[in-house]
Amino acid sequence: MNLSHADINEFRQLVLEHFAHNRRAMPWREHPEPYWVVVSEIMLQQTQVDRVRPKFAVFIARFPSFASLAAAPLSEVLGLWIGLGYNRRAKFLHGTAKEVMERYNGQLPRNLKELTTLPGIGPNTAGAIMAYAYNVPVVFIETNVRSVVLHYFFANQEKVSDELIREVVTQTLDTSNPREWYWALMDYGSYLKKQHGNNISRAASYRRQSTFKGSLRQVRGKVIALLATTPRTTHELENLVNDERLTQVLAQLSHEKLILTAQDRVQLAE
């Protein structure tokens, strides 16, 4: 898909004009240093900004750097993560901090290839980190970016591939200030969802997320929350959780090394 200069300029003007009058305040934007960017990006995976803001503040107050996070026990990190869901992300972030300290002398890598070797950081998260932390013009796709491109360039199309979306993102990217440009795209995408609803189902990559209530994710979260206060026996967890899938959940959490079990005693991994 080849866009004309006029199309690109018109699109940029629309997005940037909205941003000029409706920029959202976020702590990781006001202070976009690498550690804050990494924490925010991993927290924002599948979680809305309004839920992340208060958790981010508490997390940064307790763990202000890669060094402090790496030195902390995983159990404490998991405890602070309660309420954000997808607890594996807490383990990934903790593991990333350890690798940054051990492999990179405390300095986050400045290239995509090395970033994607860190736990929980895929190509799009790595691209976001490069843009936000280092202001490097890297092409990446996330939910709001996808939503904006679908709305503006593919209004009447279904099953739009990420390949097509990536072509548009590449051509419209402001290479002189990618950090601000992606922030503007994020905010415009958020605005579009409020005004027109979520259009993301028109993307070929769309996968419907299961309902949280009654899901395994809910049971996992309850187990983590219970263990954050004190170790428990399996019998105690059975009484407190009261869900026939508990054995399955405990097996998952143990396999992911989020919990430790020994002689019927279950606790968060250290």
pLDDT for the residue numbered 207? 80
> The tokens 């579009």 sit on which residue?
192
Confidence label for 212 from pLDDT (cuts 50, 70 and 90):
confident
* pLDDT above 90: residue 114: yes
Q: What is the DSSP string of the chain?
A: ----HHHHHHHHHHHHHHHHHHPPP-HHHHS--HHHHHHHHHHHTTS-HHHHHHHHHHHHHH--SHHHHHHS-HHHHHHHHTTS--THHHHHHHHHHHHHHHHSTT---SSHHHHTTSTT--HHHHHHHHHHHH--------HHHHHHHHHHH-TT-SSB-HHHHHHHHHHH--TT-HHHHHHHHHHHHHHHHHHH---GGGBTT--PPPPSTTSHHHHHHHHHHHHHHS-EEHHHHHHHH--TTHHHHHHHHHHTTSEEEETTEEEE--
194-202's contacts with Cβ under 8 Å and 24+ in sequence apart are 196/151, 198/147, 199/147, 199/150, 199/151, 200/143, 200/146, 200/147, 200/150, 202/150, 202/154, 202/157, 202/158, 202/159, 202/160
Of 190, 192, 193, 169, the residue nearest 181 (C-alpha): 169
Which two three-digit tokens encode residue 175? 């290479």
Whether residue 203 contacts residue 157, with contact meaning beta carbons closer than 8 Å, is answered with no
pLDDT digits (tens, 9 = 90+) for 117-151: 999 999 999 999 999 999 999 999 999 999 999 99
pLDDT for the residue numbered 8? 97
pLDDT digits (tens, 9 = 90+) for 182-199: 999 999 999 999 999 999
Please, what is the average pLDDT of the chain? 95
Name the β-bridge partners of 87. Answer: none
Confidence label for 26 from pLDDT (cuts 50, 70 and 90):
very high
pLDDT for the residue numbered 214? 82
Answer positive or negative: Cα dihedral of 231, 234, 238, 241.
positive
Catalytic residues: 41
- What percentage of the chain exceeds 70 in pLDDT? 100
